[in-house]
Amino acid sequence: MRGTGFAARDEASDVDGYAAPTCRLRGGASSSLVAFDGFPLWAVRAELLPGAVLEWESDHGDEGIYVASGELRVGTRICPTGGAVLIEGGAAVSVAADAPATIVHFGPHDPVPPGDGVYGPPDPAPRGVHVVGPGGTYAALEPGRDTRMFADSTCATCRITLFLTGRDGGYASPRHSHSADEILYLLRGDIRFGSRRLGPGDAVAIRGGHRYTFRSGPQGFAFLNYRRDASEQTTDGDVPRLEGGRARGLTRVDDVR
């Protein structure tokens, strides 16, 4: 894969079981792996059956699960539709679906946490799980725009960035790049990268430093964005700017469960 790689929903076949490489499934599920040759990040689309449990041991990096429908339970905490569960690297945990749930799960192939980014390596304190509701930890709400950050790499014990962003109408992004590798997973609407159109369930992997632009259809879009570390954005003609809810002055929400 060079600067970008695409994964179309209709080109992936769901299989019985759970396709993520870092956890094991107890119970029933169907899923498909979204992976790109030579790219360090992956994603899984999955339908969890009632009673399904996902279990992690210690050999994994920071991972994020977005709940597209239903809910997930982490101990006594509930993550509802539109929220996210963030599993810190090295944490031995389990996540359960007591009823049917549709999820999108992101993670890195390398379990070693990044150590050379803006914030340095995460603290070696005991690792655990964050449960964040649909409001996110930070938000940018404007007419026609909705951005919810579940994590922005500033946690002391993890470096994951995971957020949802969308527009209600047509939008064209400026030409820009991010210093970190990223996966965009489309939830609603459509976006185009040149002649390539992405619809719900499609994903694009973009290498750090690759400059790109995208535009949406008239009905807008919403997508998830996953990175394993903090990132700086560079727009043509501008200097790099640190990203994240805290760095960009978004509204603090702290919808943490």
The pLDDT of 205-229, averaged and rounded, is 97
Burial 144-175 (b: 16+ CB within 10 A, else e): eebbbbbbbbbbebbbbbbbbbbbeeebeeee
For 152-188, write each residue's pLDDT tens digit: 999 999 999 999 999 999 999 999 999 999 999 999 9
Per-residue pLDDT at 219: 96
pLDDT-derived band of residue 212, with 50, 70 and 90 as boundaries? very high
Q: In CATH terms, are 13-132 and 138-252 the same topology?
A: yes
Taking CA atoms, 114 is separated from 37, 126, 180, 203, in Å, by 21, 17, 11, 23
Q: What is residue 35's predicted lDDT score, i.e. its pLDDT?
A: 87
CATH number of 138-252: 2.60.120.10
| pLDDT tens, residue by residue, 56-95 | 999 999 999 999 999 999 999 999 999 999 999 999 999 9
SS3 245: helix
Torsion of CA 111, 114, 119, 125, to 10 degrees: 30
Q: How many CA atoms lie within 13 A of 238 on its CB side?
A: 14
How many helical (H) and strand (E) elements, i.e. helices and strands, does the chain have?
1, 24
Please, which residues have CB within 8 angstroms of residue 194's CB and are 6 or more apart in sequence? none
C-alpha–C-alpha distance, residues 216 and 59, integer Å:
38
d(CA 29, CA 98): 12
CA angle 104-221-138, nearest 5°?
A: 65
- Estimate the share of the chain in helix, then strand, then coil, as percent rounded to the nearest 5: 5, 50, 45
Q: Which residue has the higher pLDDT, 141 or 197?
A: 197
Indicate left, alpha or beta for 251 from its phi (over 0: left) and psi (-120 to 50: alpha): beta
CATH class of the region 13-132? mainly beta
Distance (Å, rounded) from C-alpha 1 to C-alpha 252? Answer: 37
Interatomic CA distance for residues 113 and 89, integer angstroms:
7
For the question of whether the overall pTM of this predicted structure is more than 0.95, the answer is yes
- Residues in the chain, total: 257
Q: What's the mean pLDDT in 145-151?
A: 97
Q: Where are the alpha helices (DSSP H) in the chain?
A: 245-248
Range 117-126 average pLDDT: 90
Domain positions in the chain are 13-132, 138-252
pLDDT digits (tens, 9 = 90+) for 88-115: 999 999 999 999 999 999 999 999 999 8
